[in-house]
Amino acid sequence: MSLFTAVEMAPRDPILGLNDQFNADTNPNKVNLGVGVYFDDNGKLPLLKCVQAAEKAMMDKPTARGYLPIDGIASYDSAVKTLVFGADSEVVTSGRVATVQAVGGTGGLKIGADFLKKLNPDAKVLISDPSWENHKAIFTNAGFEVGTYKYYDAANRKVNFDGMLADLNAAAPGTIVVLHACCHNPTGYDITAEQWAKVIEAVKSRDLVAFLDMAYQGFGQGLKEDGAVIGKFVAAGLNIFVSTSFSKSFSLYGERVGALSVVASDKDEAARVLSQLKIVIRTNYSNPPTHGGAVVSAVLNDAALRAQWEEELGEMRVRIKAMRQKLVDGLKAAGVKEDMSFITTQIGMFSYSGLSKDQMMRLRSEFGVYGTDTGRMCVAALNSKNIEYVCKAIAAVV
Ligand code: PMP
């Protein structure tokens, strides 16, 4: 009898588990469309030039690595505020946003969830159906009961917006609603500006707490365009939570750079909120790591590097869009009769292909093409060399 005799094997993470399976696959043509990572047209994970330039400058002037403040690098936090809310935004100039550096977007969500649990322990959390798998796990592990609001209409390949709105309007006051700010993961379907206005109205009239997860800013229509939704929540006078991830937009996945911003009602409130966020951080991991935050801060706070970043981010965005079109055309050329043009109306890194679990399993076993069982494929992993193969593989299973 050991201390761990009764410990059960936890289920594998569905996506990271898929990665292991992919790595073990000996098919020379294998393509990994499972994990949400952007690869360039050569199938390589990019190291952005702006990041290299910032790192080179840092290497030229090496610094010792002391502890960072609990809330991270000050210039990083202020750059995040500017990016998320705009430099001239009243919430920033009046000092009523509390921003902390976080360990990735995941860390931002977790800090927010732990703080919310202390603030309102009885609140329920609603996430979209479907959502990024970790949303449910993060809020459940923070102690919340997590339910869903309707989102995807599989039959009509669109957002079930009436259902979504009805669910929000039926939520109890204080309910925390996790919203994908842009590039919905996993479906690739975002709601329109008019629909956002209705969501904001519901959040306001039902006294809900909006937690906006911004993991793909810049991958939808552009940095500003994707960020506009945040400004609308702010304009409605709401106290919101925004998690930020630079994993994809800086291709800095492993550096774990993210943030949490909380919009309070005034400067004094923001200071009190910040002090509580710092307690959450201090008791979890004390303070964030130095390197990734320093790189992102260096890029965002330097006009030339920032311009270079926007250009590189734009290239990623444009390449994904081109791949969507190539996928639609390629599927048609491969003999798929069904109209697949919905793929170009989706946005961001993912496409809900509409393929069944059986079809996704066949793609894997017969062709080495890996997507999730739910039919999600990462369009950002397609390139001019693998697209034809993927199209033929899909054509063979549908
Ligand atoms: N939110 C969503 C919707 C995501 O897709 C991801 C990353 N897959 C994250 C948050 C977490 O990002 P990070 O890797 O920076 O923790």
Beta bridge partners of 145: 124
Question: What spatial distance separates the first Cα and last Cα of the chain, rounded to whole Å?
Answer: 51
Residue 349 to residue 183: CA distance in whole angstroms: 7
Q: How far apart are CA 180 and CA 190, in angstroms?
A: 8
pLDDT of residue 184: 96
- The helix (run of H) or strand (run of E) holding residue 53 is helix 49-60
Considering the candidates 110, 117, 248, 326, report the single residue annotated as catalytic: 248
The pLDDT value recorded for residue 265 is 97
67-301: CATH number: 3.40.640.10
Return the sign of the alpha-carbon dihedral for residues 13, 146, 158, 219: negative
Q: Which residues pair with 257 in a beta bridge?
A: 103
Mean pLDDT split into 10-residue runs, the chain, 398 residues:
95 83 94 94 97 98 96 98 95 97 98 98 98 96 98 95 98 98 96 97 98 97 96 98 98 98 98 98 98 98 98 98 96 94 95 94 96 94 96 96
Give the 3-state secondary structure of residue 35: coil
ipTM over 0.85: yes
User: What spacing in Å lies between the alpha carbon of 113 and ligand 1's midpoint?
Assistant: 15
Regarding the domain with residue range 14-47+306-396, which homologous superfamily does it belong to in the CATH classification?
Aspartate Aminotransferase, domain 1 (3.90.1150.10)
Q: Which atom of ligand 1 is nearest to the CA of 135?
A: 1
Sign (positive or negative) of CA dihedral 283, 286, 287, 290: negative
Element (H, E) at 125: strand 124-129
Catalytic residue, candidates 81, 110, 114, 132: 132
- d(C-alpha 37, C-alpha 20), whole Å: 15
Ligand 1 atom, smallest distance to 131 CA: 3
Instruction: Indicate the top mutation candidate among 247, 251, 252, 257 to test ligand 1's pocket, ranked by most ligand atoms within 8 A of CB.
Output: 247
Question: Exposed (0-12), middle (13-18) or buried (19+): which is 122, by Cβ within 10 Å?
Answer: exposed
pTM: 0.96
Residue from 213, 226, 309, 326 carrying the catalytic annotation = 213
- Write down the pLDDT at residue 12: 81
Q: Is 248 a catalytic site residue? A: yes
| Nearest CA, atom 4, ligand 1 | 215
**Phi and psi at residue 260, to the nearest 5°:** -125, 130
Ligand 1 atom with minimal separation from the 108 CA:
16
* Residue 337 known to be catalytic: no
How many helices (H) and strands (E) are present in the chain, helices listed first?
Answer: 15, 13
3-state secondary structure of 124: strand
What is the distance between the alpha carbons of residues 29 and 34, in angstroms, rounded to a whole number? 15
Closest residue CA from atom 7 of ligand 1: 215
What's residue 347's pLDDT? 95
Torsions phi, psi for 254 (to 5 deg):
-80, -10
Closest CA to 367 of 348, 327, 395, 341: 395
Sign of CA dihedral 339, 40, 57, 246: positive
Output phi, psi for 33, to 5 deg.
-110, 20
* CA distances (Å), origin 83, targets 30, 174, 217, 240: 38, 28, 10, 16
Q: Is the omega angle on the peptide bond into residue 69 within 30 degrees of 0, that is, cis?
A: no
Going from the Cα of 286 to the center of ligand 1, the distance in angstroms, rounded, reads 22
pLDDT value of position 223: 96
What are the residue boundaries of the structural domains of the chain, listed by start? 14-47+306-396, 67-301
Give the SS3 label for residue 25.
coil
